[in-house]
Structure 1
Amino acid sequence: MMSRGMRLVLRFGPFKGLLRAPNLSPQSVLHRHTPRLVPGTSFSSSTDTLVSRFCPKNTDLKDYAFPNASWSPEMMRLYEELLEKTKNGDWVKLPSFKSNRDHIKGLKLPGGFISASDKEDYHIFTRCILKEGKGFEYVIFFHPSKKKSICLFQPGPNLEGAPGFAHGGSLAALMDETFSKTAYLSGQGLFTLSLNIKFKNLIPVGSVALLKVEVEKIEDQKIFLSCIAQSPDEQVLFAKASGVFLQLELEEEE
């Protein structure tokens, strides 16, 4: 089980050059996204483009971010409340497929990275336990104009750390997942450069954690985000986190 204080720093190994953002065009990226984000301001239409690519209307892929019999009444209540907010277009419910391969279409991958998760047994980590209610039960809602997300997370018994409580690593994984989706849709962020977490309280297995993620700023081709994980009534703080993601270029339309 993870300690109360933890610092995760991604080690790129042969891809350390990512930290210097090779093969990116600062002129085409930074001019659109460098200003510090302020709630209520207007943003680049590239966000709408990414959201439309991320949320295809016609797809045969199974979306795992829908309610199932394992969802608790609290999980369902929160889901319905957030779903109601999507009706006026302010919020978007993000689909969750077993692979991110289709999510990152339209982005130029740096340093020789190739999307290779085309095998049937390849799954995104948070969708590796497919039996309902046993692993990661979650759904993410995104607010395009404010560039923030809310994730509902219900950890199953296969994610246990201390008896009866979710492993700290499962919360770290969901924070990273929500960070990555928010960074991607807010400014073409994809690779985690750093993830810092301070754990405060344990999450009981089967209960619901509310993860609130916001983009703090975008500069030097890096996206800085913050996250608070708490109980739905906001009375119990589970953890606080910050993350930095590498910003990529959109491929030119043919």
Structure 2
Amino acid sequence: MLRSCASRLRTPGALRGRLGGAPPPARDSRPPPRSFSSEVIYVDHSLPNPSWSKDMRLLFDQFMKKTEDGSWKRLPSHKSVSPQRTEEVKTFFPDAKPIKEHMSQAQLFPRSLEEGLGFEYAMFHNHVENRTVCIFQGGPYLQGVPGFLHGGAIATMIDSTVGMCAVLAEGVVMTANLNINFRRPIPLCSVVVINSQLDKVEGRKLFVSCNVRSVDEKTLYSEATSLFVKLDPKKSLT
């Protein structure tokens, strides 16, 4: 998410130039300003921050305890895809020519809002069980019906969680189908647990299911099934 440090990095001078519109000197010996993305893009945003509620911190600590024996692993989360990952995906889209300026500003959607206002989450993965769990706190900018989380926001996190489960199992994949049954609305700013499981693999097809429950696991908010397709490097998608 766009953290508070971002506002300090993007000073008015950096965004608009010098006050009064005076042209810059012909030669400037000072080093160029560091780009916003190079400063904060690879900060791990899945770590606790002041906006996290007591329930969010408690769940995080519980899962961190599970990582001590190696059965679970916490998954770092950044604002953008790493250059290595970008190049890996490019092999499947050889004809795609994204505009460089757009790519320099690109951020992952779930990490694009200010700290505490949107998607606050952390993911953990169990390789042996092929499970990925996401603890998620939806901020006030994700409201749908007054007082409740927007359905599209929880769909985003479901897709992100089951997608991560598929990626960790088979590599580069794309969502082919996502079917969600919304059982109950999720109160705004509450914490839920998204539990995903790789059910089966058929050739290049991966079937992943998940459920969204309250912290005490007593309330079922949503259930989902999904189909992902592992991309074939020999076949271009464009």
TM-score by shorter chain over 0.5: yes
Aligned partners of 1:65, 1:208: CA distance in 2, in Å? 14
The residue that corresponds to 2:122 in the other structure is 139
Is contact 2:118-2:140 (8 Å) kept?
A: yes
Aligned partners of 1:143, 1:93: CA distance in 2, in Å? 9
Superposed, 1:56-67 pairs within 5 Å as: 61-67=42-48
Q: 1:189 to 1:219 in 2, by over 3 A?
A: farther
The residue that corresponds to 1:11 in the other structure is none
Matched residue of 1:138: which SS?
strand
The residue that corresponds to 2:75 in the other structure is 94
Larger Rg: 2
The residue that corresponds to 1:229 in the other structure is 212
Aligned partners of 1:139, 1:109: CA distance in 2, in Å? 29
The residue that corresponds to 1:31 in the other structure is none
Q: Please point out which of 122, 135, 140 is paired with 2:106.
A: 122
1:161-187 CA-to-partner distances (Å, cap 9, x unmatched) read 011110000000000001111111111
The residue that corresponds to 2:92 in the other structure is 110
Give the TM-score taking structure 2 as reference length. 0.74
Structure 1 residue 194 corresponds to structure 2 residue 197: no
Matched residue of 1:165: which SS?
coil
Structure 1 residue 174 corresponds to structure 2 residue 157: yes
Q: Counterpart of 1:159 in structure 2: which amino acid?
A: L
User: C-alpha root-mean-square deviation of aligned residues, in Å?
Assistant: 2.3
List runs of 5+ in structure 1 lacking aligned partners.
Answer: 1-58
Superposed, 1:18-57 pairs within 5 Å as: none
Which structure is higher in RCO with an 8 Å CA cutoff and minimum separation 6? 1
Q: 1:113 to 1:175 in 2, by over 3 A?
A: farther
Give the TM-score taking structure 1 as reference length. 0.70
Q: Counterpart of 1:183 in structure 2: which amino acid?
A: A
Is contact 1:189-1:245 (8 Å) kept?
A: no
Aligned residues: 192
Aligned partners of 2:154, 2:77: CA distance in 1, in Å? 17
Matched residue of 1:175: which SS?
helix
Q: 1:115 to 1:225 in 2, by over 3 A?
A: farther
Aligned partners of 2:169, 2:43: CA distance in 1, in Å? 24
TM-fit CA distance, 1:111: 4.9
TM-fit CA distance, 1:250: 7.8
Is contact 1:106-1:250 (8 Å) kept?
A: no
Q: 1:102 to 1:153 in 2, by over 3 A?
A: farther
Aligned partners of 1:176, 1:163: CA distance in 2, in Å? 24
Aligned partners of 1:115, 1:191: CA distance in 2, in Å? 19
Matched residue of 2:152: which SS?
helix
List runs of 5+ in structure 2 lacking aligned partners.
Answer: 1-39
Q: 1:98 to 1:214 in 2, by over 3 A?
A: same
Matched residue of 1:183: which SS?
helix
1:124-147 CA-to-partner distances (Å, cap 9, x unmatched) read 111111x11100000100111211
